[in-house]
Structure 1
């Protein structure tokens, strides 16, 4: 016969309601009582019925995680696997489960989110991206469901809790570093145009060139997918120009791998012919040949802060909007 809350209560000389409060980690229960009850639960083999508890509490103990594209594409990029690892760790500590979106188009992703919310499948959501004119943001604000944005919103920042880096300043400092190395022909390879992370880094790149009195060449600015293929496509466009840049600021390590592969295939040396500075400081930056200089945006910390802020908003609907900026550092290796 399955062990019940009553069995745990009898074994610890507390009421069933106290056991229930220990399970939900109620702050009104003393640490000593929590430890006693949890030890009894472990010894008796008691496992809470979270489905039943969810029906009583009107809570799912599940959070939704929204990707910018289908999982098979997103999981090729170590940014998403690392930020999801952090979210998973934080969710586990708070006893929350995770549900992921699987939509391949913006419309499918929105439909997934609507089903999560209308079906009451999640208590809140984390969006792993920020893009211009995103209907998901408007929908979540309208539904008044807790959510956290990884990235700076394009509008209504006073109504949206978000976690981000100072991407504009990071790109500006990175570009200034390339200028300091006497590069004046510097290209920018960004991810999908319209994503705020791309827009902010592009703004920092342009600001650095402007302050150094270096003309901005629009044909040196290229957008593509955050994939190896995206980096390769960008190099194809650069090679078609009359004058190849001597340095490239790439907004993602995975794209940078494609850039390096294509340059090597063309017989161009890194950094002698083309210097490269990238973003994210993932495992690719260490394993590449030569090792890749990259801006460490502390992906894991982004994910942990996102889940922390979301849990606060789920537990306290009156939690004020917050804006968390995670610090970054530029890690210099052999690519520049």
Structure 2
């Protein structure tokens, strides 16, 4: 049990009128009397807790019953992580979400009082989040989808597909999640008769219907996410194998590219990265980004896809680069 947990339990015992003694608290919380007195010191000095020893009962009491412990006790690491999430929200563009998040964090910091020993202004000036280009979306669309998902209600939406065709779709919202600068919806599409992914930024109009739906018992959002490399999903999961030369392998080793990745070291210093994925076009673009330092080994469909891209690209560089 860490100190924050002990502080909250001490407050609960005292507030309940149990008048706990330092010895009783030490036994209850699995620590020693010295640590309990250090905990009391922090409550009193950092949060102004009116916590005193009552001689008659031999325990601790509050002299002011209206005093309350801050509702959000956070470590410095947790506060920093939450603060940096503002920049992540900003990556979503002018969606309005960043204002809501900034307001929420400000309330948390105010409730922490002196606990917020991290200089957030200095932190903001010293750090920058490098994030992928974002697709802005409307906040009210996300909130309506979240409401429909929770209530298991169908949604009628006007959607702009990748082919720039507007059409009305009735969908059953299964799950919402941000990925690669987009906020996406995983839903059953009645028009297609299958589950599909939708970019929330392409939803032009949306209304919640009265009709309800039943979430499939085998639906597992985490399992679905693990079949996706970054953002694109396909119909079949493939076992990907990409070989990186010794130059590029040192950088590939530094990152977790997929939760189920299996790296295989090569005698020449290179690396073979294996992972499952269903969206082959996305993986092909990723591999092409490493140029001659990466080569697809499996599956054959991905090898052919990369070869087709290369064959189509080569003629563009065989002519004078100064001509259009």
Q: Same fold (TM over 0.5)?
A: no
Larger Rg, first or second structure (1 or 2): 2
Q: TM-score, normalised by structure 1?
A: 0.26
TM-score (norm: length of structure 2): 0.27
* Larger fraction in strand: 2
Higher relative contact order (CA 8 A, sep 6+): 1
